[in-house]
Amino acid sequence: MNTASCGYHSLSADERPVTEREFTIYAHIRSAYCPRLLSTEIPLPASRIKLVFASMLLFLGAAPLGYAQNAATSIPENARAVSYGSGWECARGYENVEGKCVEVTVPRNAHLVSYGSSWNCNRGYRRAGEACVEVIVPANAYLTESAYDRGWRCKPGYREANESCSRVNVPAHAYLVDSNYGSGWECERGYRESGATCALVEVPQNGYLLRNGRDFKCEHGFARVNDKCVAIAVPQNAYLNDAGSDWRCERGFSKGGSGCVALNVPANAFLNHSGEDWVCERGFRRDDLACVNVQ
């Protein structure tokens, strides 16, 4: 890059200096591409800035017109050049509205957020449109950090009811749960909800409690009949299913009443996949209990 494109020149007596804003833009680009320049060097006048930017980009192989237009874009009031890349950002307490930095109006009992372009209500207040209203905390409740919902929650052992907190009545063999739905309590393992109380789950012989502890299931080989576990009677030519809750006939037999009946497979037929019925071979069709030739 030649020295002229980096700003090496002398000012004549009639050349006016650039404004502070124009100098900020120029200095940012000059420091990025001409690190040899010292802070004591004389900046270019306003009339030369576009020419300097264009010559810099010609050297870098970029499009000079677009860059010159971007570089010459003025920074609005209450804004500053960003310390990275190009462009500008609004100062803290201002927000970008259609290319201008407009002051953020912070209502009473509110504060600017950390990035400075919006606001939140102070603790003890919640947002209502563009204002902050005081949170009225009922008895047996406490403030929350949220500024958008009602701003309070009921203490443990209480639940919301008509903008107040009512006590949860926990029956024997139950415990509190943190929920605004349901009764506000659950029964201990081995008990199940029955109205406003917890009733004991009576586990019969050959049964066991389910994982949730609120009911029972019969062991393998037993079936639930009312509140008891009754042994499953497995007939001849049958076996217990995988769950152990019923029986199935062996292959070649089908259920008939309380037993397994042997299948009579006719000529030109074979057992189906389940083994509990038969189908005709290719070229034959079923006709009652026989397979007849397809005409």
Q: State percent of the chain over pLDDT 90.
A: 48
pLDDT band at 128 (very low <50, low <70, confident <90, very high): confident
Q: What is the mean pLDDT of residues 174-184?
A: 86
Report d(CA 187, CA 199) in Å as an integer: 8
**pLDDT value of position 83:** 83
Report which of residues 3 and 51 the model is more confident about: 51
Dig out the tokens for 44 from the structure: 């270019």
pLDDT band at 11 (very low <50, low <70, confident <90, very high): very low
Q: Which of 5, 3, 10 is nearest to 26 (CA)?
A: 5
For the cut 60, the answer to whether the pLDDT of residue 131 exceeds it is yes
Chain segment 200-249, per-residue pLDDT in tens: 999 999 999 999 999 999 999 999 998 999 999 999 999 999 999 999 99
Q: What is the residue-wise DSSP string for 140-179?
A: TEEE-S-SSS-SEEEPTTEEESSSSEEE----TTEEE-S-
Q: Mean pLDDT, the chain, as a whole number?
A: 80
Chain segment 87-111, per-residue pLDDT in tens: 898 999 999 998 899 999 999 999 9
Q: What is the mean pLDDT of residues 167-172?
A: 95
Chain segment 19-72, per-residue pLDDT in tens: 555 555 555 555 544 544 434 444 555 455 555 544 544 444 444 444 444 444
**pLDDT value of position 147:** 60
Q: Label residues 58-69 b or e (16+ Cβ within 10 Å = b).
A: eeeeeebeebbe
Beta bridge partners of 250: none
Q: Where are the domains of the chain?
A: 20-71, 263-295
For the cut 70, the answer to whether the pLDDT of residue 169 exceeds it is yes
**pLDDT value of position 25:** 54
Chain segment 254-295, per-residue pLDDT in tens: 988 889 999 999 999 999 998 889 999 999 999 989 999 987
